[in-house]
């Protein structure tokens, strides 16, 4: 059985070697895209110089907001433990934990950026990366799905940003700030809608 982890990260900027993860939001689904749980936590930033004002305008988190947050080396194992718990494994052995995480595909909107930050964080904290190497990117997947829509004279969104895709399917953000969990929830809803079409579309 495989699992889908719809992930969204907020960072202090865009440079993976200079900026830091400051918030992690995730929604876990089983292979039928049934939701198993939601995860959200802030992360304590250590590099004050890298905390950019432009990024703060996007996520709305100030340096002061994050001073009581747990550190990255605490959050990453906590996320792993949360995943294993949500799939129903109690008191797993290390082998069971790693086996479960290898079945977890990370999904998201332009998710390669989030994965690059996450992998860099694992390397920096000297933690073992055990997630599946398969990723699913909503931005790329939607391109192909909406091209099929066009070929069938169906309506398509005016863009492929998360907001435009979500709006096309009838979903909206609650506000203009990019809370990591809210974006993960929104992305997961879009994935579910697109996956529903894969059950209907046939190659002839």
Same domain, yes or no: 150 and 88: no
User: Is there a single domain that holds both residue 107 and residue 9?
Assistant: yes
Note the pLDDT of residue 203: 62
On whether residue 82 sits in a domain, the answer given is: yes
pLDDT digits (tens, 9 = 90+) for 15-31: 999 999 999 999 999 99
| H/E segment holding residue 21 | strand 21-29
pLDDT of residue 55: 72
Query: Do 51 and 127 have their domain in common?
Result: yes
What is the pLDDT, as a whole number, of residue 175?
Answer: 63
We report the CATH number of the domain holding residue 41 as: 3.30.420.10
Give 157-187 pLDDT, tens digit per residue: 888 999 999 999 999 877 655 689 999 999 9
The alpha carbon of residue 178 and the mean position of all alpha carbons in its chain are separated, in whole angstroms, by 12
Question: Are 9 and 24 a contacting pair, CB within 8 Å?
Answer: yes
Residues 78 and 148 both lie in one domain: no
- Secondary structure of residue 195 in the 3-state scheme: helix
Cα 120–Cα 14–Cα 158 angle in degrees, nearest 5:
120
> What is the extent of the structural domain holding 119?
3-136
Residues 97 and 149 grouped into a single domain = no
Q: Could you say which residues of the chain have pLDDT below 50?
A: none
Looking at 136, 158, 186, which one is the last position of a domain?
136
Report if residue 204 sits inside a domain.
no
Q: Which of 11, 144, 155, 26 is nearest to 81 (CA)?
A: 26
- Tell me: do 67 and 130 sit in the same domain: yes
Same domain, yes or no: 127 and 161:
no
**Which of 136, 152, 177 is the C-terminal boundary of a domain?**
136
- CB within 8 Å of 98: residues ≥ 6 apart: 128, 130
What's the domain count of the chain? 2
**125 and 39 share a domain?**
yes
pTM: 0.91
């Amino acid at each position: 059985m495989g699992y889908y982890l719809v992930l969204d990260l907020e960072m202090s900027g865009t440079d993976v070697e200079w900026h830091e993860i400051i918030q992690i939001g995730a929604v876990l689904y089983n292979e039928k895209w049934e939701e198993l749980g939601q995860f959200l936590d802030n992360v304590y930033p250590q590099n004050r110089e890298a905390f950019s004002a432009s990024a703060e305008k996007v996520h709305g988190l100030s340096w002061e907001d994050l001073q009581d947050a747990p550190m990255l080396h605490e959050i990453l194992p906590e996320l792993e433990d949360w995943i294993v718990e949500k799939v129903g494994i109690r008191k797993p052995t290390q082998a069971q934990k790693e086996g479960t995480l290898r079945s977890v595909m990370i999904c998201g909107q332009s998710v390669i950026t989030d994965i690059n930050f996450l992998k860099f964080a694992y390397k920096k904290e000297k933690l073992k990366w055990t997630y599946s190497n398969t990723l699913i990117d909503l931005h790329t997947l939607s391109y192909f799905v909406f091209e099929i829509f066009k070929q069938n004279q169906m309506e398509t969104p005016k863009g492929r940003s998360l907001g435009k895709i979500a709006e096309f399917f009838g979903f909206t953000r609650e506000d203009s700030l990019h809370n990591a969990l809210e974006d993960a929830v929104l992305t997961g809803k879009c994935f579910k809608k697109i996956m529903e079409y894969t059950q209907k579309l046939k190659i002839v």
